[in-house]
């Protein structure tokens, strides 16, 4: 009797004939790849066209990229504004056109950096960036001016006039200080440019600075140590990806208040009708008494995620829930 040896590649092709279920996939992006490259390769590995990311990483940056797969892509916009954590290496003493090591050097500090940048003065400068501030994005960025990305204008030799953007830096910690380089860990709001931080820090210190390297280690509640590389995904079968790497969409919405729907409430939101608090739904857990509008994640009595709604409260027990985005696959009805 002849035994046939089946190669890993053939096994992966066979298992990949089944499309992966929807959810959130955490990927550890390597340098050199664009965020779109990662999405494109994930689509081929998972045999799923509906994949998108929740926040881009520059090609030279590495680290955590959060992907939404299948039906979870409907909720990508709700994950895009989560806080992030980065490890950044900054080089002092030079400025560049792109605010990173890729661009043309514009200026160099000719003096000795040591007398100018002591650790105490550096700590004071770093502390000044904590909290809310206005930040000007890099000239070489995807920010649009009159519908044209700033980097397109910059490559034409024009100087983009970018408006300052409100950002928030929750904390900024000095991990390493070895002139001319320093390494930081930064917790910040979505939309914060670490290239701009490097540029502005160098300007504040009077010597110039640019970003050497960047690693994103956290997005919301997701961390880099839970992410898979593309190589790991490529060698895993679909079943292993679902068991080991794919997370439910609601795991990215843990900070959002939850509403539990009754059987009548489930039917109402599925057909786009308003659900009443008390009769059709209730908040979990019940927050302090207050009126107002809440964005909430909806679930049924078994805790199954159904989508996101808009809850308009009147006091503690009255209000109406309007469905905004549904996880249609989770409902027990024919679409």
What positions carry a catalytic annotation? 58
- As to burial, measured by CB atoms within 10 angstroms (0-12 exposed, 13-18 middle, 19+ buried), residue 263 is exposed
- Give how far Cα 143 sits from Cα of 9, 104, 238, 281, 309, Å: 42, 20, 37, 41, 30
SS (H, E, C) 226-287: HCECHHHHHHCCHHHHHHHHEECHHHHCCCCCEEEECHHHHHHHHCCCCEEECCCEEEECCC
The two tokens of residue 213 are 């390297």
Q: Residues with Cβ < 8 Å from 207, sequence gap 6 or more?
A: 92, 93, 109, 113, 116, 117
The DSSP call for residue 62 is E
Task: Tell me which residue of 167, 180, 144 sits closest to 83, measured CA to CA.
Answer: 167
The two tokens of residue 14 are 């066979």
Q: Residues with Cβ < 8 Å from 257, sequence gap 6 or more?
A: 283, 284, 287, 294, 295, 296, 297, 311
- Give how far Cα 193 sits from Cα of 28, 127, 197, 211, 254, Å: 20, 17, 6, 10, 26
């Amino acid at each position: 009797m002849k035994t046939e040896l089946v190669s890993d590649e053939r096994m992966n092709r066979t298992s990949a004939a089944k499309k992966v279920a929807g959810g959130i996939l955490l990927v550890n992006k390597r340098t050199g790849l664009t965020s779109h490259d990662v999405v494109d390769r994930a689509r081929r590995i998972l045999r799923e066209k509906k994949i998108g990311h929740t926040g881009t990483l520059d090609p030279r940056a590495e680290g955590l990229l959060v992907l939404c797969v299948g039906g979870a892509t409907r909720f990508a916009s709700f994950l895009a504004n989560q806080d992030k954590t980065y490890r950044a290496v900054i080089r002092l003493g030079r400025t560049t056109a792109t605010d990173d090591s890729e661009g043309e050097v514009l200026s160099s500090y000719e003096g000795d950096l040591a007398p100018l940048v002591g650790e105490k003065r550096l700590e004071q400068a770093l502390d000044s960036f904590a909290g809310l501030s206005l930040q000007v994005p890099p000239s070489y960025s995807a920010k649009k001016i009159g519908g044209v990305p700033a980097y397109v204008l910059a490559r034409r030799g024009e100087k983009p006039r970018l408006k300052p953007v409100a950002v928030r830096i929750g904390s900024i910690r000095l991990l390493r200080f070895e002139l001319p380089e320093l390494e930081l860990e930064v917790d910040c709001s979505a939309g914060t440019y670490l290239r701009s931080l490097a540029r502005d820090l160098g300007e504040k210190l009077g010597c110039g600075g640019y970003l050497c390297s960047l690693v994103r280690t956290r997005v919301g509640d997701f961390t880099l140590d839970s992410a898979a590389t593309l190589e790991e995904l490529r060698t895993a079968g679909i079943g292993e990806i679902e068991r080991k790497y794919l997370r439910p969409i609601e795991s990215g919405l843990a900070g959002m208040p939850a509403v539990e729907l009754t059987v009548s409430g489930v039917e109402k939101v599925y057909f786009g009708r308003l659900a009443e608090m008390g009769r059709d739904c209730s908040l979990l857990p019940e927050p302090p008494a207050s009126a107002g509008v809440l964005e909430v994640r909806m679930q049924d009595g078994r805790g199954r995620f159904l989508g996101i709604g808009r809850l308009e409260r009147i006091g503690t027990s009255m209000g109406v829930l309007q469905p905004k985005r549904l996880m249609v696959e989770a409902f027990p009805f024919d679409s």
